[in-house]
Amino acid sequence: MTASFAPDPSLQKSLQSAFAPHLRALCERTSVALAAGGYTGLLVSAGTAPLLFADDRTAPYVPNPHFRAWVPLANAPGSFLWFEPGAKPRLLIHSPDDYWHRSPGIPDSYWSPEFDIHVAADPAAIRALLPSDLSRAAYLGEGFSFLTALGPGAVNPPALLRRLDYARAAKSPYELLCLRQASRLGALAHRAAERAFSQGHSELQIELAFLAACGQREQDLPYNPIIALNGAGAVLHYQHLDPLPPQIHRSLLIDAGCSFAGYPSDITRTFSAHEDDFAALVRAMDAMQQRLCARVRPGLDWRELHLDAHRETAGVLHQAGIVRCGEDEAVASGVTAVFFPHGVGHLLGVTVHDAGGWLRGPEGGQIPPPDGHPNLRLTRVLEENFVVTMEPGLYFIESLLAAARGDARGRRIDWARVEQFAPCGGIRIEDDLAVTVRGCENLTRDAFRELTG
């Protein structure tokens, strides 16, 4: 199956019908949050591309996620969103008279009729389009040189951010449409990357195959792809992208997603180049990951699922002969944390690691992770329409293994088996799940099935 980047009329129609109620709900909950803080309006910056040190170039532009939550506009740095309860949201697009760069114009898309849109050439023109008195308005975004002149009543007020972040966990039908489409693009690109691996290509060549299949630049993706061959799979956020293929292909761990209308997919797959013990370990981890997915439903405490993932990991390690002790002992002694040092998943939304994962409620407070598991990014009880990732992992990380070898955990580990698996780096299997009234919708597996159906 090849990529098709022409607009899908049926998708555009669905997006158009879903966006208006999505925006109304966003306006309603933002109005409640503003009232709780005593604010009369909200000004949100789209952000700018930061200038590189001692250079006249900028880093790639990434929109402020609070701006992206309102407007699916990917490339309008310096723009603003103004919202006043009871009025149509106003979009102020920064469009300078510039012959060095292409300036944005007035958008014509499924979402644009829902905004009062203006184009402004400079900050003074933007200021003229805002209310004269912003002293009771809240501002969200990075600092600007003319921010003081705008005179907002509060800049990034923590209480307001907590309320907005907490509510963002539950997705609207429009957001779910976008996340499904991001998963479809991600599955298409993952298939191309898998083919490139099977043909013996390098990490860089595999990434290029991924980008070509989804039709996106690296800076358009929700995060830089992790494409790790062989032992590099033990580096959790590996970013090297070796341009030359290794002499021997053993394994590929690819963690990469695509973007659609500002919403991401976050997908990880692991492959073995041979039908060997590592391939069997990958299959065992995939089966384990699916068992964990089957448990996802409203009312589930994510902390308990994370601990269950460690018990499941202990079982996989024991079955593979990597550890000598039982499941409870492996978890209690910290042996599983040697091989599985990160959280089992996180919220997914306008950012990949979406905000609000630890929040106890809209007023604030945090739900701590379980003792001994500080890297868990989500501790809340799941609710319908939450979107989460499910990504258990099993790695052979040199520094963690060295520490375990030197203490009581070492006698519980079969080091000969560790040496056998270490050249393959590690395994991570990751799907994106939308919580439904009775369980969950696996956006990732559905997208892969569409490719083969």
* pLDDT recorded at residue 393: 98
Residue-wise pLDDT for 339-397, tens only, equals 999 999 999 999 999 999 999 999 999 999 999 999 999 999 999 999 999 999 999 99
C-alpha span between 375 and 343 (Å, rounded) = 6
Last residue of a domain, one of 157, 191, 214: 157
Last residue of a domain, one of 157, 189, 217: 157
Tell me whether residue 7 is exposed, middle or buried, using C-beta atoms within 10 angstroms of its C-beta: 0 to 12, 13 to 18, 19 or more: exposed
* pLDDT recorded at residue 145: 73
Structure tokens belonging to residue 409: 């955990």
pTM of the model: 0.96
Report the percentage of the chain scoring pLDDT > 70.
Answer: 98
- CA-nearest of 124, 65, 113, 120 to 89 is 113
Q: 440 with 317, same domain?
A: yes
Kindly state the average pLDDT of the residues 238-262: 97
Last residue of a domain, one of 157, 184, 205: 157
Alpha helix (H) ranges present in 320-371?
327-332, 335-339
- CA-nearest of 268, 302, 287 to 386 is 302
- CA-nearest of 45, 75, 80 to 61 is 75
Q: 134 with 189, same domain?
A: no
C-alpha span between 297 and 344 (Å, rounded) = 15
Q: 79 with 192, same domain?
A: no
Alpha helix (H) ranges present in 199-256?
203-214
- Beta-carbon contacts of residue 276 (< 8 Å; ≥ 6 apart): none
Kindly state the average pLDDT of the residues 262-267: 98
In a domain, 153, yes or no: yes
Tell me whether residue 213 is exposed, middle or buried, using C-beta atoms within 10 angstroms of its C-beta: 0 to 12, 13 to 18, 19 or more: buried
Q: Which residues of 374-385 are buried (b: 16+ CB within 10 A; e: fewer)?
A: eebbbbbebeeb
In a domain, 167, yes or no: no
Kindly state the average pLDDT of the residues 398-408: 97
Q: 189 with 142, same domain?
A: no
* pLDDT recorded at residue 2: 39
* pLDDT recorded at residue 3: 45
C-alpha span between 358 and 365 (Å, rounded) = 8
Cβ proximity of 116 and 89 under 8 Å:
yes
Q: 220 with 305, same domain?
A: yes
Tell me whether residue 308 is exposed, middle or buried, using C-beta atoms within 10 angstroms of its C-beta: 0 to 12, 13 to 18, 19 or more: middle
Would you place residue 1 in the very low, low, confident or very high pLDDT band (cuts 50, 70, 90)? very low
Domain containing residue 88: CATH number: 3.40.350.10
Q: 180 with 32, same domain?
A: no
Domain containing residue 196: CATH number: 3.90.230.10
The tally of domains found in the chain comes to 2
Q: 91 with 185, same domain?
A: no
Residue-wise pLDDT for 44-63, tens only, equals 999 999 999 999 999 999 99
- The CB density around residue 172, as the number of other CB atoms within 10 Å, is 17
Cβ proximity of 236 and 395 under 8 Å:
yes
Q: 151 with 184, same domain?
A: no
Kindly state the average pLDDT of the residues 285-306: 98
Residue-wise pLDDT for 214-246, tens only, equals 999 999 999 999 999 999 999 999 999 999 999
- CA-nearest of 324, 310, 280 to 414 is 324
Residue-wise pLDDT for 119-157, tens only, equals 999 989 999 999 999 999 999 998 877 777 788 999 999
Residue with tokens 């696996």: 442
C-alpha span between 256 and 117 (Å, rounded) = 34
In a domain, 162, yes or no: no
* pLDDT recorded at residue 100: 87
Average pLDDT, the chain: 95
DSSP secondary-structure letter at 245?
A: -
Would you place residue 89 in the very low, low, confident or very high pLDDT band (cuts 50, 70, 90)? very high
Cβ proximity of 255 and 225 under 8 Å:
yes
Phi, psi of 347 (to 5 degrees): -70, 150
Structure tokens belonging to residue 315: 């079982």
* pLDDT recorded at residue 7: 63
Residue with tokens 């079982």: 315
In a domain, 168, yes or no: no
In a domain, 319, yes or no: yes
- The CB density around residue 102, as the number of other CB atoms within 10 Å, is 9
Which helix (H) or strand (E) element contains residue 388? strand 387-390
- CA-nearest of 258, 207, 177, 194 to 5 is 258
Residue-wise pLDDT for 157-211, tens only, equals 999 999 999 999 999 999 999 999 999 999 999 999 999 999 999 999 999 999 9
Would you place residue 6 in the very low, low, confident or very high pLDDT band (cuts 50, 70, 90)? low
Q: Which domain holds residue 321?
A: 173-452
